[in-house]
Every structure is written in C-alpha cells, then in structure tokens.
A and B are shown apart, each in its own frame.
Chain A
C-alpha cells in the first residue's frame, strides 16, 4: 500500500517537473512566434495578448520588402552552404585518413586538432584580420566561408572518424581485390555507407556558420556582404525604442531554415553528436 502511494507520488512529481522544464524551453519560443504575428499596437498592451487575436502578416510583408534584409539573407545562405560543402569534403577526407591509416604522430595530430576548440576566437581574429587584408579576403564571402569552416572542422573530423570506425574494413579489402583504386574505394564504397555521418557533419557546420556573429562582425564591414546576425545587430539594435514585432519577425525568419533542416535531419544529427561526444 505504502509502496504504491510512493510510486504514484513519484509519478506525479516527475510529471510536474517535466511540465515545468518543458514550459521553460517551449514558452519563450512560442512567445517569439506569436509576437511576430501581432501588430505593433497590440504588443505594448498590458495584460499581454497571450494568443494573437488578430494575427497579421504585415510584419513579414514589411520585412521581405526591405532590400537590405534580402541581401543579408542571401549572404547567410551562401556562406553557410559554402562552409557546409567545404567542411563535409575536408572532414570526410581527413576523417578517413585518421580512421583507416596508421601514421607517425597520428594521436598527437588528433589532440592538436581537438585543442583548437580552446583557442579564443578573438586571438585568432587579431592575426586573421591582417592576413585577410593581405590576401584580399576582407569583405568577401569566401573569407567568411573559410573562417566558419575552420570553426566547425575540428569537431567534424572527430565526428566522421567515429562513423568510419564503425564501417568494417573487410568491405574495403573486397574492393581492393576487385582492383579499385584508393580514391575509388573511398568514393564508391565508403562514401555511400557514411552518408548519415556526412549529413550530421553538414548540419553541424550549417548550424555553426548560420550562428556566427564574431567573424562576420570583424571581417566584414560592407553592407552588401553582411550576413543575418551582423545585419540584424546593426539594423535593429542600438535604437532606444525597439520595434519588437519587427525584431521578433526577423528572428522567426532567421530560425526557419535551421528548423526545416532540423526537422528532416535530426535523426542523423543526434546520432552524430552523441557518437562524437559520448565516444570522444
């Protein structure tokens, strides 16, 4: 009898705890979306309108008619996609080498690659700024692609190495006997088998590149090269009175591409990250 009461109260407590934590995680997200659909005259009302009674698309219309916004959006997409492609290729190659071959200082190299995560980004930027200006990479999308790629590359290599480690080596030996070249084995046998890993790497890089503020803030000063984070911070911050429904609208729109990617790829993403973090 006592035990069943114990079990029931435990169940109730855990349900309450779950609801509280979920509320903390979900309600702010809901608030962002609902604010984006409200008219500016409504959002300054107290008590707040918990649910938009007269939802409006005006904010979105206004946003998409701003030429600068479309430029930032386009730049963000180009830079993030570029970084994704480059880091998928570079991580696949390097991860394969680290997974399949033995060579001198291999573990030291891996440690060195991992240790880059500790480097303060601003220290890098102090020198990178001069280098970029020397090689004409300041104010270019290519420069941002290189910077954001290298930010995600170390973890990508570790992550994809984990995937390669799981692929039995006997598959490759069969290919070798059939006379396939080394690159042939990589592209025809290993590549198709490691698609989940590559997707995880790609999604991770896209997420990081899309999120970048610091590189874009320092390496880009021209408005036509700006990405969303810097663009938003320059256009919508610094004024005393914020146009909150516009700010939340641009926030929603900036989140949508990642949300879509996440909905399709979350299975791979979670598998990749847990493999990387739990093993590494």
Chain B
C-alpha cells in the first residue's frame, strides 16, 4: 500500500518535471523576447531615456506621458489609428461576409475559387504596399488611367501624397490583403452551421434575409467576435503598410500610433517617450478588447432570455 503510494507520488513528480521541460523552450523564448521587454518598457516610460545616452537614465515620473499628451501628436495619431482601424475592419467584415455567403453556395469550381481568393493574403505586406503604390502612381498608375477614362475622376490624383486621399489609399491596400483571411474564417464558421437548422428555418417560411439575420449571424457570433477582434488588434499594430506607402505623411495625416511610437523611439531616439506612448496604447487596447468581448457576451445572454 505504502509502496504503491510512493510510486504514485514519484510518477506525479516525474509528470511535473516533464511538464516543466515541455514548457521550458516556449516559456524561455516568450519571457526573453516578450514578457521581460514589456515590463522593462513600462519601467522605462518613467525615465528620461535616450538612445543617444543609453547608459544614463534619470527618473522623471510621468513627464514622458505629459510630454506625449501635450504635443498633441498622441491624440492626432490616436484619431488616425481609430479611423483607420474602424473603417478597415467594418468594410472588411461586410465584404468578407458577403464573399463568404457567395463562396458557401453550390457552384462549379468553388474549391478552386476558394483557394484563389486567398492569394492576396500570402503576398508579403511590403510587396502589397509597393504594388498598390504602383497602381496608385499619379502619372502612369493604372487606377488614375481607368478612373479618368470612365469619367469617375476629372484629373489624375496623387493618391498616396495628397493629404485627403493618403489614408484611404493605405486602407484600400490593407483591405486587399486582409479581406481573403476574413472571408475564409467567416466561411469556416458558416460551414459549422448545422444544415438541419437552416432547413427547419426554411420550412418555417423564413426568407433569405431573415435566415441571414436570425440564424446565420447569431450562430456565427463567436467566430465573428474572434476574427474581428484579431483584425482590430492586427490593424492597431499595422506598421509596414504605412511606413512604406506614406511614412506617416503627408502632413502627419497617416501617422498612426505605430508610426508615432517608432518615430519617437528610433528616429528621434527618445526611448522614454516612445515607451510612454506604447504603455498608453497598450492600456487602450486592453480596454477596447474587454469592452468588445463584453459587447458580444451581453448580446448572448439577451438572446438566451
């Protein structure tokens, strides 16, 4: 009895050791390159810390935060970021769900089309940026040519360098790359709806529109929550598209938080202020995610009642 018990204990100890060994590689990497840096970065945000004198740091309390807010840069770039994220994610979701509905129909060659749809998603972001810069090119770009020929535009536009158009230009490029992924995920969620449920609704006389709003959308709520939240977070972080296409210009009209914090930290070399911007950004994102998840779960309980 006792022997059995000690053996059992020994096995459990071995289990623990095994678990530790399994988690060690990933744990080490994540600590080294993510958890320790984020803690350090939060710590730096309270110091006057510059890349020019990396060994000298002096505690300045909230000075970096006040500095970032006082500039006004923080709020302008926050506004640009929020507009960019909101517009891209909403359009992406609407077109994505339309595309998913279309691809969910029975037609010849739908398998091939479903793969072809994914192509933009595997094109590297920097290539997407370059490709759209070529399409948007002011004098020889194909978009201006077509739009002027069709009479949509009266003259060539400098898409990427005109203050009022630059952000839309980046949005279109981002949308092009991200739409395939969104549509594919939504399609996967749609395919998880039991056909019996759809059949039953049809027998009850539900029309197409009713079927979509009463059955399909509610059923896909969890998928929609996940993929749109992923899209929000990814777009909040978007850096390459802006850096390559506009660099934050013209006149800071496309300076997002990602561009602002990069510029502050690695161009102006003010690491403390850059860190402070990062901390405010992180807090904002945490609040947004919590509220977003709450929004979805509240609706669920309403539906249950």
Contacts and interface: CB of A to CB of B under 8 A. Distances in A.
A62 B15 CA distance: 58
B251 interface: no
B239 A277 contact: no
Interface string A170-188: 0000000000001100000
Contacts of B244: 213, 233, 237
Contacts of A90: 25-26, 29
B34 A124 contact: yes
Given A127-B38, A213-B240, A244-B137, A258 B122 contact: yes
Interface residues of B, number: 96
A107 interface: no
A233 B126 contact: yes
A182 B18 contact: yes
Given A24-B176, A154-B30, A232-B126, A31 B142 contact: yes
Given A28-B132, A89-B25, A213-B239, A118 B34 contact: no
B166 interface: no
Nearest to B17: A182
A262 interface: yes
Interface residues of A, number: 86
A120 B116 contact: no
Given A28-B176, A93-B23, A236-B130, A123 B279 contact: yes
A123 B184 contact: no
A167 interface: no
Contacts of B167: none
A42 B285 CA distance: 47
B130 A232 contact: yes
Given A28-B132, A207-B122, A21 B95 contact: yes
Nearest to A48: B142
A211 B227 contact: no
B23 A97 contact: yes
24 contacts: A14-B102, A21-B99, A21-B102, A25-B176, A47-B149, A48-B145, A86-B29, A93-B24, A103-B19, A118-B282, A120-B278, A122-B262, A122-B278, A123-B41, A123-B281, A126-B41, A131-B37, A150-B32, A153-B29, A214-B262, A228-B126, A236-B130, A247-B130, A278-B192
Given A244-B137, A273-B181, A278-B189, 10 more contacts: A28-B120, A32-B131, A116-B30, A118-B289, A122-B278, A130-B54, A182-B18, A213-B240, A229-B124, A274-B185
Interface of B: 14-16, 18-19, 21-27, 29-30, 32-42, 44, 51, 54, 95, 98-99, 102-103, 105, 113, 115-120, 122-127, 130-135, 137, 139-140, 142, 145, 149, 176, 179-181, 184-185, 188-189, 192, 208, 222-223, 226-227, 230, 233, 237, 239-240, 243-244, 257-258, 261-262, 265-266, 271, 274-275, 278-279, 281-282, 285-286, 289
Interface of A: 10, 14, 17-18, 21-22, 24-26, 28-29, 31-32, 35, 43-44, 46-48, 86, 89-91, 93-94, 96-97, 101, 103, 113, 116-131, 133, 146-147, 149-150, 153-154, 157, 182-183, 207, 210-211, 213-214, 217-218, 228-229, 232-233, 236-237, 242, 244, 247-248, 251, 254-255, 258-259, 262, 266, 270, 273-274, 277-278, 280
